């Protein structure tokens, strides 16, 4: 499996695009996890062939996780996409996306040269999409948010979306080779968000080999990077990454 980090930033980071992950399998299937305000352009920049994207999975309906869909869809239309695209999200995802598209570019979706199909995610639901198997669990966030476990090429990857870990997300992450977790704060509790320390604990409990910390609060990421790096370097039982935009992680079976 190939994991690309087109965006690694939080909602209002002016330097880093909103966090999103591109997962690509050996069969060339591809899945984008989240697509916020600034994520779509970052995805287009870093994907080898953006028009081959099979599906987009949205963790929740905050703007920095799905407001990039009009950009993504209209650019795909302008570039002549013909392959169908699947969008996965919580209850009401189709109505929300169609409303957003009509607000941004009225009627465009109906004139697309490809079909958009919608699938509904929910805790404990399993979906098979584009060569991947997806399972979900609710995190502790200010709006309903679903962490996702993606199985592809016999490898499991956990992505938290936003929110503090819950017993359900802890269980979902167990046995995953890679954990990608939002780490908005260093160690102090932040309502509805995870911390670096808690993400490390979750990855350890999961038995993961690699932890990628994303969605770090902009001041912490840009002004206290030395502190972050020192903390990461002291961890010897887990590979911990602070990925840069466009960084690629190859995961072997």
In this structure, what DSSP letter does residue 32 have?
E
Inter-residue contact 101 to 108 (CB < 8 Å): yes
172 part of a folded domain: yes
Residue 95 has pLDDT above 80, yes or no: yes
Band (193; pLDDT cuts 50, 70, 90): very high
196 part of a folded domain: yes
Strand partners, 152: 155
Strand partners, 249: 3
DSSP H helical segments within the chain, as ranges?
A: 39-46, 63-66, 69-78, 93-104, 167-173, 196-206, 218-223, 225-233
pLDDT (tens digit, 9 = 90+) per residue, 120-167?
A: 999 989 999 988 999 999 999 999 999 999 999 899 999 999 999 999
> Structural domain of residue 75, as residue ranges?
2-123+132-247
102 part of a folded domain: yes
252 part of a folded domain: no
Band (253; pLDDT cuts 50, 70, 90): low
pLDDT at 252: 79
Q: With b meaning 16 or more CB within 10 Å and e meaning fewer, what string describes 61-74?
A: bbebbbbbbbbbbb
85 part of a folded domain: yes
CA 202 from centre of chain: 17
253 part of a folded domain: no
Structure tokens at 142: 């200010």
Residue 42 has pLDDT above 90, yes or no: yes
CATH of the domain at 162: 3.60.15.10
Instruction: Indicate the number of domains in the chain.
Output: 1
DSSP H helical segments within 105-208, as ranges?
A: 167-173, 196-206
Residue 22 has pLDDT above 80, yes or no: yes
Task: Kindly report the number of other CB atoms within 10 A of residue 196's CB atom.
Answer: 23
Residue 196 has pLDDT above 90, yes or no: yes
What is the pTM assigned to this prediction?
0.97
């Amino acid at each position: 499996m190939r994991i690309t980090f087109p965006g690694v930033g939080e909602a209002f980071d002016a330097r880093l695009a909103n966090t999103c992950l591109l997962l690509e399998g050996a069969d060339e299937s591809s899945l984008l996890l989240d697509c916020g305000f600034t994520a779509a352009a970052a995805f287009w920049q870093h994907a080898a062939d953006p028009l081959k994207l099979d599906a987009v999975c949205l963790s929740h309906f905050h703007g920095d996780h799905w407001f990039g869909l009009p950009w993504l869809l209209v650019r795909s239309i302008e570039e002549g996409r013909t392959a169908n695209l699947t969008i996965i999200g919580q209850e009401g995802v189709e109505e929300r996306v169609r409303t957003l598209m009509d607000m941004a570019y009225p009627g465009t979706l109906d004139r697309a040269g490809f079909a958009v199909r919608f699938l509904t995610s929910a805790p404990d639901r399993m979906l098979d999409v584009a060569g991947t198997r997806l399972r979900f669990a609710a995190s502790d966030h200010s709006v309903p948010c679903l962490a996702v476990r993606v199985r592809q090429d016999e490898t499991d990857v956990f992505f938290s979306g936003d929110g503090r870990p819950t017993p359900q997300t802890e269980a979902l992450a167990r046995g995953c080779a890679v954990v990608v977790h939002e780490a908005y704060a260093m160690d102090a509790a932040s309502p509805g968000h995870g911390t670096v320390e808690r993400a490390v604990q979750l990855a350890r409990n999961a038995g993961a080999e690699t932890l990628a910390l994303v969605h770090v609060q902009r001041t912490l990421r840009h002004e206290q990077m030395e502190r972050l790096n020192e903390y990461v370097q002291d961890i010897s039982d887990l590979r911990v990454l602070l990925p840069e935009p466009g960084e690629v992680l190859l995961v072997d079976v």
